[in-house]
Structure 1
Amino acid sequence: MTNDVVKLRQVLHRNPELSGSEVETARRIVRFFKPLKPTEMIEGLGGHGLAVVFSGQEVGPTVLLRCELDALPIQEITPFSDRSWVEGVGHQCGHDGHMAIVAAVGVALARQRPKRGRVVLLFQPAEETGKGAAEVVKDDRFSMIAPDYAFALHNLPGYPLGQVLICDGAFSAASRGMAITLTGKTAHAAQPETGRSPARALCKIIQQFSSLPQDIDAAHEMAFVTVVGANLGEKAFGTAPGRAEVWATLRSETDDMMACLIAQAEAVVADSAKADGLEYRIDYDDIFGATVNASAAANIVRRCAGEVIQEIEQPFRWSEDFGRITATCKGAMFGLGAGEDTPDLHDPHYRFPDELIAIGADLFLRIIRQCLLEPSASW
């Protein structure tokens, strides 16, 4: 690992950009890679995404490594000199570290290019909103870099530094935000019977959501609904409200279970609204499919990680949009321990440990060698 990579992470950390606005972040990555003279750089991929390609002289597989460009709407609280300069925005998920890891891989590839096949380093936009990977795959130019294998990692506080967490099948959950609007009729608080208040329906929806899913054999599979907010009327004691909103997150282990959860949640809303003569509307946002690991790709990670590997029995509850990419090829996502005493992801005090850059880059390079069958490469 070079000092340049650490400096890059610090610059990225000081200058975070939210999902869909990663213009300067992408430009900084381009400037970093230009002196390394990759085979090709594809800019503006799926938004502000960037694909950096290193090709070998012989035909072979294409291996894609993905990291994320975007930051979070979180105010950082740390004493470090490289803390965020942007008010209310920070890299409290460690995407600055993920980019640094992949940049370190690029430095190694520039020193010794693959003999066969291709390595694509994908700096993906808008992961936090669940839109970025879908836009990248939908971009016509994605066919130019269509991978045979795809890998991604996520740093995981609470686990020993450098420990690798993997599984076959679902690695992280499917989730989506559900926004419900209930519309009735406003009335005087002294004559509530002349209106149609959504108060009772709102309470019923919140109560019933806590018991979903129902009548589904989900004993072996994670699935639940979390109400994250609600709004009913105003602080106006003379008025009975005619409008209410409920916001909930649906989360499941698989996409099939998500479809069942959606159907049941929508039925609860429809029945509750109908019972009180209300109109309703349902909108969805922050849609993530389950990230599913192919056994063949997960086995490559296992072989390359060696003794530091740990199998997980259930997928992580948080969501990732990398599943959009693994749906196109053999792929796997794995966790990389960021230290047992490190603050949690999305915590205002969280800071990516620079020691993890070399560990992650070395593992990615071993994965590349395994996929391209280059055991003698000395990165």
Structure 2
Amino acid sequence: MTPETLARLTALRHELHQYPEVSGQEEKTAARIAELLSQYRPEEIVTGIGGHGVAAVFDSGEEGPSVGIRCELDALPIQEVSDAPYVSRVPGKGHLCGHDGHMTIVLGVAEELARQRPTRGRIVLIFQPAEETGKGALAYRADPKFRNVATDYVFSLHNLPGLALGGVELCTGPANCASRGMRVVLKGKTSHAAAPQDGLSPAKAMARLMPALAGLGPGGELDSEYALTTLTHAELGERTFGVAPGFGELWVTLRTVSDGRMARLVADAEALVRQHAEADGLGVEITYDDVFDACTNDPDAVEILAAACRVQGVPLRLSEKPQKFSEDFGQFAKGAKAAMFWLGAGEEHPQLHNPDYDFPDDLIAVGADIFLTAARQLTG
């Protein structure tokens, strides 16, 4: 990548950074991406996939493998704290996970493909919405438009604070944990605070459930039995001194290495909730959100990425452990040989989702070169 190209892409990343849109609301981001892609003259640009998803198809016209390269469109509902001149201009929202950088990397691939098309098969650039909620990849693949842009292989990346800048971590098999948000609503009956005995308070059941649910998932080694339950929110009654509470709500994140272990954890957690609710005569409602299946890297796809790192001289660390973070990229592995690699954002870099996080521009060329080298192993 020439210095001029990198400077142009960096400026583009800063533009995207200033106008973040959260999951499901990426309309303007998607339109800008489609506009930028048009200058690279792909054979086809498909929009509105699974919401605001975009795909650009670079087709050789010859028989051969179809290769996908995926990034994400969405930002986070977090107020950015930064002195950068390109700080978010949208109050309460920010690209604090680096998806602005991921998009820019894939646009860098598009620029190289405009100069040199694949010689066989095709390369499909995937701009996926709503990764942060776990809904985007599922909706993208479920959309009838997806059939025309489905691929045999698909690669993705995520930047990783704590890993040396520009280095790569890669593993075969389990790559990202499954997770889901469990919302528990306990239903009783309010009463005057002077006569709590005339109501039905969920307070005691909530007090028992919080440590009990935590005990189901103590964390530990990232093996097949790994389970982590994290209490993220609790609410009891109204904010008043005159009313004894009649409802309670708990939000708990469940996390496991595999989907099978998740199914067992869900069953155990639901049974525990119902047991404590019934013991106190409470009604109960359990719902789920932010559902992420486990993400598994295909061995063949991993070897292609590893070879690309070696060709580019990128430091590579092969790992036997998945990341605790969840990723909806695992949905793409249900129809293709898929693998995600982790690209180091720096050992002392602010963590993902921190208010002072910012994507390192030094990763733009590294990520684009790895993706392009991996895809050309298959398509020439």
- Would you call these one fold, judging by a TM-score over 0.5? yes
1:377 counterpart residue number: none
Please give the secondary structure, in 2, of the residue aligned with 1:231. Answer: strand
Counterparts of 1:220-299 in structure 2, within 5 Å, are 220-299=224-303
What residue number does 2:341 align with? 334
Please tell me whether residue 361 in structure 1 is matched to residue 356 in structure 2: no
Separation of aligned partners in 1, 2:260 and 2:254: 13
Instruction: Tell me the alpha carbon deviations over residues 297-337 of structure 1, each in whole angstroms, 9 at most, x when there is no partner.
Output: 11111122126111223211111100111111100011000
One of 90, 93, 113 as aligned partner of 1:89: 93
**1:199 and 2:203 correspond:** yes
Which among 30, 33, 42 is matched to residue 34 of structure 2? 30
Secondary structure, counterpart of 1:314 in structure 2: coil
1:241 Cα deviation after fit = 1.4
What is aligned with 2:75? 71
CA distance in 2, matches of 1:48, 1:220: 35
Please state how far the C-alpha of 1:192 moved relative to its aligned partner.
2.7
TM-score (normalised: structure 1): 0.95
Q: Which amino acid aligns with 2:53?
A: G
1:318 is paired with a residue whose SS is: coil
User: Matched residues in 2 for 1:344 and 1:162: separation?
Assistant: 16
Q: Which residue of 2 aligns with 1:310?
A: 317
Are 2:216 and 1:212 equivalent residues in the alignment?
yes
Q: Provide the rounded CA distance (Å) in 1 between the counterparts of 2:81 and 2:239.
A: 34
Deviates more, 1:262-271 or 1:23-32: 23-32
Q: Deviations over 1:335-362 (max 9, x none)?
A: 0001122111111111111110000000
Corresponding residue number in structure 2 for 1:175: 179
Paired letter, 1:202: M
Q: Which residue of 2 aligns with 1:99?
A: 103
Structure 1: unaligned runs, 5 residues or longer:
375-379
Task: Name 1:343's counterpart in structure 2.
Answer: 350
Contact 1:253 1:290 in 2 (8 A): yes
The percent of aligned pairs where both chains have the same amino acid is 50
On the 8 A contact 1:232/1:241 being kept in 2, the answer is: yes
Q: Distance in 2 between matches of 1:236 and 1:165?
A: 51
Q: Give, in whole Å, the separation in 2 of the partners of 1:6 and 1:318.
A: 27
Matched, 1:110 2:114: yes
For 1:324, which of 309, 318, 331 is the aligned residue? 331
Counterpart CA distance in 2 for 1:102 and 1:154 is: 12
The range that moved more, 276-285 or 192-201, is 192-201
Report the Cα offset of residue 235 of structure 1.
Answer: 4.1
Q: 1:92 to 1:208 in 2, by over 3 A?
A: same
- SS across alignment from 1:44: strand
Paired with 1:81 and 1:213, the residues of 2 have a C-alpha distance of 43
Distance between the aligned counterparts of 2:68 and 2:223, measured in 1?
Answer: 36
Amino acid at match of 2:298: A
| CA displacement at 1:4 relative to structure 2 | 2.6
- Aligned equivalents of 1:77, 1:211: Cα separation in 2: 35
For the 8 Å contact 2:222–2:321, the answer to whether it is kept is no
- Give the Cα–Cα distance (whole angstroms) in 1 for the partners of residues 261 and 193 of structure 2: 42
- 1:68-112, Cα deviation, whole Å (9 max, x unpaired): 000001111111111111111110100000000000000000000
CA 47–219 in structure 1, closer or farther in 2 if over 3 Å, else same = closer
- SS, match of residue 36 in structure 1: coil
| Contact 2:222–2:257 under 8 Å retained in 1 | no
Give the letter for the 2:378 counterpart: C
Stretches of structure 2 that go unaligned for 5 or more consecutive residues are: none
Counterpart contact for 2:172–2:320, Cα < 8 Å: no
- TM-aligned CA deviation for residue 204 of structure 1: 1.3
Give the counterpart letter for 1:351 in structure 2.
Answer: D
Note the C-alpha offset of 1:152.
Answer: 0.3
Please give the residue correspondences for 1:115-134 in structure 2 after superposition, counting only pairs within 5 Å.
115-134=119-138
Distance 1:263 1:110, change over 3 A: same
Over 3 Å counting, the alpha-carbon distance change for 1:86 and 1:5 in structure 2 is same
User: Secondary structure of 2:238's match?
Assistant: coil
Output the CA distance in 1 between the equivalents of 2:108 and 2:144.
28
CA distance in 1, matches of 2:136, 2:374: 24
* Whole-angstrom CA distance in 1 between matches of 2:193 and 2:169: 57
**8 A contact 1:163–1:309 mirrored in 2:** yes
Q: Tell me by how many angstroms 1:141 deviates.
A: 1.2
Residues 154-193 of structure 1 deviation map (CA, whole Å, 9 limit, x = unaligned): 0011111111111111111111111111011222334333
Mean CA deviation greater in 353-362 or 183-192: 183-192
Looking at structure 1, the residues matched to 245 and 283 of structure 2 have their Cα atoms a distance apart, in angstroms, of 14
Please give the alpha-carbon distance, in whole angstroms, between the structure 2 residues aligned to 1:359 and 1:219.
Answer: 31
Equivalent position of 1:42 in the other structure: 46
Deviation at 1:219, TM superposition (A): 6.2
Question: What is the rounded CA distance, in whole Å, between the counterparts of 2:265 and 2:358 in structure 1?
Answer: 35
What whole-Å deviation, never above 9, does each CA across 1:248-299 have from its counterpart, x for those lacking one?
Answer: 1011111111101100000011000000001000011111111111111111
Alpha carbon RMSD of aligned pairs, Å? 1.5
One-letter amino acid of the structure 2 residue matched with residue 230 of structure 1: A
